[in-house]
Structures are given as structure tokens and as C-alpha cells.
Structure 1
Amino acid sequence: MDITLEKASDTNASLKITLTPADYKPEVDKKLKDYGRKVQLKGFRPGHVPASLVQKMYGKSILVDEINSMLSRTVSQYIRENKLQVVGDPVPNREQADAIDWDNQTDFAFSYTLGLASEFNIDFAELPSVTRYEIQAGETEVSNTIADLQQRFHGHAHGEEVGETDTIYGELVQTSTPESGEPFSAKTAFPMDKMAEDAKGQFVGKKKGDVISFVLEQAFPDEKARANATGVKKEEAAALTGEFNFTIDDITRHEPAELNQEFFDKVLGAGAVEDEAQFRTKVAEVIRGNYAREADQLLRLDIEKNLIDNTPILLPDEFLKNWLLEVNEGKFTPEQIDEQYDDFTKSVKLQLIKNKIAENADIKVEFDEVLDATRQMVREQFGFMGSENEEMDKTIDRIARNYLMDEKNNGQNYTSTFNRVYDDKVIEYAKTQLTIVSQEVTVDEFKALVENR
């Protein structure tokens, strides 16, 4: 076998492969013998079909399959062993392949076009610093969060007059008899916030015992809301139209939870805090913790942008655009490829950079690391974060392994989790090499930073 790489430029090359009988014949002969032992042909005992007949029937297809398999292995191995920065897939010269005379040729020549990324290095010492934002939760954020929590853990109270966000309970009666039968009537509840705005005026300010006449489909134009208001199925609610009376029996409304020990225990757990001052301190910690995760994500994005912006890499643009058109099989036009090409090249460059960092730092991902990450995902999804139960741990482990080894998606679960762990390790290493500057910001300042990104 002869393999030659010819570089036309830093980003374009061709890989030429020549095969002789010595390369493929031993394996082809072996497979022909296997076929001879297994093939069943009328007039011959199993395993006694003449070799010449087996060759005539299956020889060409076995030869083609073996050479294609050999080419695939050879190209991949050559790229890996020579550490070529290949982008896209090697593209075979189809005209050359189509011209092969499989019946008479014994030597075969093949050619592949390769798209290459230019050589590059990463010197962390030369890269600009990156900012880690530390979000400070001020009194406004704490007060707003507590107000939201008071609404979430609200209580109920009875009102004297109907308000715009109340729920009213009473009897709904259809005032005209429909052609299909008896008029509709039911004890039901109307949530005012689900009622059409222009119909609320008929109800707001009314008291217990008042009777309101209204058109049902005007108050609840949405059939789903009408079904909820009347207590019937959606398809039945569509037929409920016209004049109705509603007699108010009761008015209830949400009232914010009081700032007391019961509320503190519901939000943070029994005995976590003893007074409002401690509660506000804990809420501030929670806010900072929640925003810290977002700050970590922003730091990651900024590190990736820093690496891309400051690592010059040339790509084979024409080759990649043609390759994208081909592999997407008519899903995109050349104009659409051009529109999305910048985003595509950023992702290609970022992956090349991460691979280079991993190679230089000898970063590897083991199966146990992938399994641990999957176990953590299962814990988060099922809410088992604090579990130390042995049986629960076994259940989590079984779910995690089944997820990774699911054959229905051809190993995609394992691949995606492996890539996530790999990326995390590369970024964590980059954090240790880059200069990271801390900067305190308010919640509003941080939100503005995120929006600008």
C-alpha cells in the first residue's frame, strides 16, 4: 500500500492511496472460503460448491466491500497517526472511483480531498484577562424576592366585594332554554383573572347574594377557559353560549403570607432561621447562589470567546461550504450556508482549540467520570440530591447505566455526556491558566451584561 499526502496550501490537501493485491487479496480469499463453507446452492452439498463458482457469484462484491472497508480504516488511521487537523469529512474523487474496472483491474488508485485547519498554538500567558462577575444581592432584590415568596406561599381570605384577581363561587344558570334540552346550571367558580377584560366590569364590586346577567362566550371567549369556568369538557363548553345568570355565594382572594415562623419554615425548612433578619440574610445567600451559576455560565462563554478571538486559525472555506451543501442533501441553499457560515466556523474553531488544549494538557475522560456525571443528572432530575440511602444509590446507578447504554439511540446518550464532561474539564483547566479578574456587580448590572452578550 502506498499513501501520499499532497498539500496544495495550509488548508487544502489530497490524500492518494494505491492498493495492490498484496494489500487486499489475503482477506478477500479468506472471505471467499467462508462463503464457500456456508453457501447453499442447488445441486451441491453444503460446503462443496466449487471455488470458481463462489468466485464468479460473490467475488466482485466481496472485493468491493473489502477495499471500501480498507480505505475507510486507512484514511482514519492516517489522519489520526499524523495528527492532521481535518475539518469536515474526507471527500473521495468519485469520477476516479467510478472509472474502476472491478472485473479486470488488480491495482487500484484512490484520491481524497481533505480540508485542513492551519497550524496554531495556544499561549495562555499571551491571552487577555477574563472577568468573573460576583453578583451582590442588594436590599431591593431581597425585598422583591421575599414579596414573590409571600405570593407563592399565599393564604386565602374571604372578600366583601369582587376584585379583579378574586375567585367567585356561586350558581351559574342559563336563562334561555336551548333547543337541545334543559337549560344548563351548575355550582361553579369563576377565576376573575381568566375572564375577558371587557367583561370584568359586570362583576367587579359586586357582593355576596348579587345576581349578574352576562353573555357567557363574551366573558370566556376561550373554550378552554369556558370549560374550566363551567366544569364541563372543552367540546361541550363550545356549545354553551348566550345569556346566563351568576349568583355570588362567596368571594375568595389570595393574601400574601405573613412574615412569621411558619412562613420561614415553609421556605427554608424547619428551624433554619428564627427571625426576619436571619431570613433576609438567607434569602440574600440563595440569590447570590442562583446568580453564581449564571455567572459561571457567562464566564464560560467569555473564556470561549477569548480563545476564539485570540487564536488565529485559517479554515478551507470553499471546501467546507461545498461539504456542508453535500452532507445536508439539499436542506440548505448556498445562500443559507453563507448566512450561517460564520457561526459554523466559530464552533469548528472552538472545538479545534479545545482539542489542542486537551492534547497539550493530557486531558482525558474515563468511563467512571461519564457515569458519575450521569448519576448526578439522575439525582437532579428526580430530586435525590441529599440521598445517602444505599438502595436509592443502587437505583440511581442502574438508571444511569441504562441511560448511557441505551441501544435505541446508537450510543448518543453516552457520546453527548462524554462530550459535556470533556468540555467541562477543558474549561476548568483553562480557568487555571488564564488571568481571571473578579468584579462585583448588582443584579441589574449583571442582567444588562447578559442581555448584551
Structure 2
Amino acid sequence: MNITLENKDALNAVVKVDIAKEDYSDKVEKVLNNYRKTANIPGFRKGKVPKGLVKKQYGQSVLVDEVNKLLQESLNNYLTEEKLDILGNPLPKPQDNFNWEDDDYSFEFELGLAPEFEVSLDNKEPITHYVISADDEMIDNQIKMIQKQYGKIIAQNEVKEGFNIEGTFHNPEAEIEQDASFNIDEVEGKTNKKKLIGAKTGEQVTLKSTKLFKDTATLASKLGIDEDKAEGLKVDLTLTINEVNEQVPAELNQELFDKYFGEGEVNSEEELKERIKADSEKTFAQQGDQQLLNDVTEYLVENTTFDLPAEFLQKWLKVQGEKELTDEEAKEEYEKSEKGLKYQLIEGKIINQNDLQVQAEDLKAMTKERIKMQMAQFGQTDLPEEQLDDIANRVLSNQDEAKKIAEQAMSQKLLDFYKEKLNLKEEKLSYKAFIDKVYK
């Protein structure tokens, strides 16, 4: 067997694999002998089938199978031994004159080679790292949400501001007959709201579908229809009021604190606000870090210049899925994935050059931290270390879950590395300001 490599340019190469008869003949012979021992062919006892007959029936398929096995094994070993950094997978070149009746075979594969490049972490213009705070308005709204969550529902006979309505919407012509639940404050139109205020349980109220709720999606949900049908819907709706309920918020007292955070965790309104602020800002820190990672990714892709074997990758994308793509589809798919592929190469170089590794203890620590956060949501904040270890081991025994956590742990290592090496500037702002600035 002989394997040779021809570089077409810096990003493309062709590897040629020459397989001679002596490379595969023993393997084929061995398989055919095994077939002869086990084959059930009418007219012959098991194990007594003539070798020529076995070869005639199975020889071609065994030959093809064994040569292909040898080819794949040899090619993979060659790529590994030569330390060729390829993109995608080798693509076999078509051979019009190929003949399995020959004794010796030649196969050629196109390779897309990873480019050579350098990554600079010397950014003169600082990248913003957002530090997000929980302002008083957000904390107050969170407290109201907690009070509402643990409050009481009291049945009423008449609709008033802030009350919940359980009713049925009717319109036979529009084929609407739907039970719905909503708060009077969700009603947008002044005329509709005016008709509802003061209405009593058991009464029917005629409402306009226009401006009934804040958007088409909400209207569609409440009326039980598709959004397409709800878009521009202008009909009269009869609402039969089945129930009217007032939601009375829970009092801010020790009973509420214990229910929400666990017994003795919070002991005053001041501590409540401090806890909400700390918990919120811990979540916001994750969002700020994710945005930093997004911005660093954008910076590195834009400021690290190299080419990819675009033509090869489009060919590879065309055939690597379950369904073969057209040339246009493959080109479109490549254009969508080009930036992501470039960052994968940049990230890989940063990881290798700086020896960033995820150790078993990193996975265990991250898994245990996540378990603690999940259990805290159910008021369990003091899980014994032995129990934490046991749960973490069970989670990591799932290969898919372990892989996912490993990827997240590497993202955290990269994030810590970027924070240390890149020129960053902190910008402190409220959560609302962050959303307005980043997402609008």
C-alpha cells in the first residue's frame, strides 16, 4: 500500500491511496473461508460447499467490503500520523474508469486544510463588560410578584380594577367559542374596559375584538384561534362572565419570607430586598458574561484574518447531510456557518496555545453548583456534601449531559481567560438599560 499527498495550495490537497492485491487478498480469503463453513446452500452439506461456488456468490461483495475497510482505516491512520489539520471530512474524487475486476486499486480524496493564522489579544479599543444592577423599581416589582404568588383569591360578584375574569367568548359567525381567563388590566381598549367595569357574574357583555388585548398573539390565545385569523379581526364578541376573582397579595411578614426563601433565611423587609437584589444580580452577571463572550467572539472573528477552503467546504456541506443539497443550498449553508467555523478555529488555537483544559474536578464543581441552584429554588439550601456528590456523579454518568457540561466549563475557562488578557471596560447599568442597549 502506498499513500501520497499533493498540496494544491495552502488550503486544498489531494491524498492518493494505492492498494495492491497483496494488501487485501488474505483478508478476503479468510472471510470467504468463514462463509464456506457457515453457508447454507441447497444441495450441499453445511461446511462442504465448494470454494469456487462460495467465491462466485460472495467474492465480489466481500472484496468490496474488505477493500473499503482497509481504505478507511489506512486513510484515517495516515491523517492522524501526519497530523494533518483538516476541515470537514475527505471527499472521494469520482473515477470514471474504476473497475473492481482489477487486482490493484487507486483512490483519491480531496482535503480541505485548516489555515495558518495568528490570534492577537492586544485590542486597543476596549470591549465593554456590562455589570448589571437591580434597581429599586425591579426589586419592588419582584416583591409584588412574590406577594401575588402567595396571596389569596377571593370570589367577587362585580368586576373592578385589578380583578380576574373567567368567562367564555362567543361569536358563531367567526366560529369562536372559547373559555378564557384574563385580568381586567390586560384589556387595552377604553370602550371595552368601560363595559367590563361593573359587570356582574353571570352577565353577558358585548366587546369589540379590535384593541381587546395588547397584541395579536394574546388575542389569538384568548379566543382559541390561529394568529393569522386573529390578525386584523374586527368582530363583536359576546363574553359570558362565569367568575370574578380578586387576588389579595400576601402580607410582608415572616410567614411569607419563610415560605419563599426557607425558614430563617430572611427575617425582615430590608433583608428581603437585599436578598432579591443579590439573587437578581447573580443572574444578571451571567447575562453580562454571555454578552461579553458574544462581543469577544465578534471582535476575534473580525480582527483575525484568514481564508477558508470555501469551495471544498461547500462540496462537503452538499453531501454530508441525510439529504444531498443543491449547489445553491450548499452555498447558502456555508455562508451562514462561515463565521461560526472561523470562531471554532480561533477558539481551538487559543485553547491549545494557552493549554486551557477542563479537568474532572472542574466538571464535578460546575455540576454541584448547578444542583445547589436548582435545589435552592425548592427551598433546599443545605444539602449534605455526600448527597451532592452522589447526585453529581449520577448526572455525569450520562455521556450527553457530561459533554454538555464540559462545553460549558470550557466556555467559562475561555471567559476567565478573556477577562484576564483582553482590554475591557466595565459599564454599570440597570437591567432595563442593558436590555434597551443590547437588544433594541
TM-score normalized by the length of structure 2: 0.74
Change (3 A) 1:19 1:192: closer
Tell me, yes or no, if the aligned pair for 1:202 and 1:212 is still in contact at 8 Å.
Answer: no
CA distance in 2, matches of 1:244, 1:439: 53
Q: Is the 8 A contact 2:196 2:205 kept in 1?
A: no
Who is 1:185 aligned against?
Answer: none
Partner SS for 2:305: coil
User: Offset at 1:10?
Assistant: 1.0
Contact 2:90 2:110 in 1 (8 A): yes
Structure-1 residue corresponding to 2:176: none
Partner of 2:352: 359
2:432 paired with 1:434: no
For the aligned residue pairs, the C-alpha RMSD in angstroms reads 4.4
- Compared CA separation, residues 367 and 46, structure 1 to 2 (3 A): farther
Provide the residue aligned with 1:24 in structure 2.
24
Shift in CA distance, 392/85, structure 1 to aligned 2, threshold 3 Å: closer
| Equivalence map 1:297-446=2 (5 Å) | 297-328=290-321, 333-362=326-355, 386=381, 387-388=383-384, 397-398=393-394, 401=397, 403-404=398-399, 413=400, 417=404, 420=407, 423-424=410-411, 427=414, 430-431=417-418, 434-435=421-422, 437=424, 439-443=426-430, 444-446=432-434
Are positions 1:68 and 2:73 aligned together? no
Are the aligned partners of 1:213 and 1:245 in contact in 2 as well (CA < 8 Å)?
A: yes
Per the alignment, residue 136 of structure 1 pairs with: 133
**Match for 1:100: what amino acid?**
F
Q: Quick one: structure 1 residues 322 and 157, their matched pair in 2 at CA, closer, same or farther if it must change by over 3 Å?
A: same
Residues 148 and 250 in structure 2, CA contact (< 8 A), matched pair in contact too: yes
SS at match of 1:253: strand
Q: How does 1:53-452 map to 2 (within 5 A)?
A: 53-94=53-94, 96=95, 99-103=97-101, 105-124=102-121, 130-156=127-153, 161-167=158-164, 193=184, 201-206=194-199, 212-214=203-205, 252-328=245-321, 333-362=326-355, 386=381, 387-388=383-384, 397-398=393-394, 401=397, 403-404=398-399, 413=400, 417=404, 420=407, 423-424=410-411, 427=414, 430-431=417-418, 434-435=421-422, 437=424, 439-443=426-430, 444-451=432-439
Amino acid at match of 2:98: I
Distance in 1 separating the partners of 2:13 and 2:240: 82
Q: Conserved in 2, the CA contact under 8 Å of 1:357 and 1:426?
A: no
Quote the Cα distance in structure 2 between the aligned partners of 1:19 and 1:370: 45
- Fraction of identical pairs, as percent: 29
Partner Cα separation in structure 2 for residue 11 and residue 44 of structure 1: 58
Structure 2 contact 11–309 (Cα < 8 Å) conserved: yes
2:30 is paired with a residue of what secondary structure?
A: helix
Secondary structure of 2:267's counterpart equals coil
Which of 139-148 and 324-333 deviates more? Answer: 324-333
- Pair 416,245 (structure 1): closer, same or farther in 2 beyond 3 Å: closer
* Letter of the structure 2 residue corresponding to residue 424 of structure 1: S
Unaligned stretches of 5+ residues in structure 1 = 173-187, 228-241, 405-412
Q: Is the 8 A contact 1:7 1:14 kept in 2?
A: yes
Larger deviation: 112-121 or 124-133? 124-133
Structure 2 match to 1:231: none
Shift of residue 451, structure 1, vs aligned partner:
1.3
Q: Return the alpha-carbon distance in structure 1 between the equivalents of residues 79 and 402 of structure 2.
A: 21
**Aligned-pair CA distance for 1:100:** 2.3
CA contact (8 A) 2:297 2:343 kept: yes
CA distance in 2, matches of 1:189, 1:51: 78
Do the aligned partners of residues 70 and 369 (structure 1) sit closer, same or farther apart at CA in structure 2, a change above 3 Å counting?
A: farther
Q: Displacement, 1:68?
A: 1.1
The 3 A distance-change label for structure 1 pair 161 and 52 is closer
Whichever residue aligns with residue 439 of structure 2, its letter is E
In 2, the alpha carbon distance for the partners of 1:108 and 1:120 equals: 37
- Per-residue CA deviations over 1:207-249 (Å, capped at 9, x if unaligned) read 68xx745569999xx999689xxxxxxxxxxxxxx99987x9x
Alignment deviations for residues 368-403 of structure 1 (CA, whole Å, 9 cap, x no partner):
8778877877787787875438678657755653x4
Q: What is the rounded CA distance, in whole Å, between the counterparts of 1:189 and 1:354 in structure 2?
A: 50
The 1-side partners of 2:128 and 2:220 are apart by 52
- Matches of 2:81 and 2:406, distance apart in 1: 22
Q: C-alpha displacement at 1:315, in angstroms?
A: 0.7
Deviations 1:99-131 (A, max 9, x none): 32222x111111111122221233546797644
| Contact residue 156 and residue 252 of structure 1 kept, 8 A | yes
CA distance in 1 between counterparts of 2:249 and 2:182 reads: 18
In structure 2, the residue matched to 1:176 is: none
Deviation at 1:334, TM superposition (A): 4.0
Q: Secondary structure at the match of 1:83?
A: coil
In the alignment, what sits opposite 1:184?
none
Amino acid at match of 1:50: P
Q: Relative to 1, partners in 2 of residues 1:371 and 1:195: Cα closer, same or farther, differing over 3 Å?
A: same
Counterpart-to-counterpart distance in 2, 1:268 and 1:22: 75
Q: What is the one-letter code of the residue matched to 2:302?
A: D
Secondary structure at the aligned position of 2:280 is classed as: helix
Q: Once the 2 structures are TM-superposed, how far is the Cα of residue 65 of structure 1 from its aligned partner?
A: 0.7
Q: What do the CA deviations read for 1:388-423 (whole angstroms, capped 9, x no partner)?
A: 38678657755653x43xxxxxxxx36853762574
State whether residues 365 and 421 of structure 1, in contact with CA within 8 Å, keep that contact through their aligned partners in structure 2: no
The whole-number CA distance in structure 2 between the counterparts of 1:318 and 1:394 is 50
Secondary structure at the aligned position of 1:49 is classed as coil
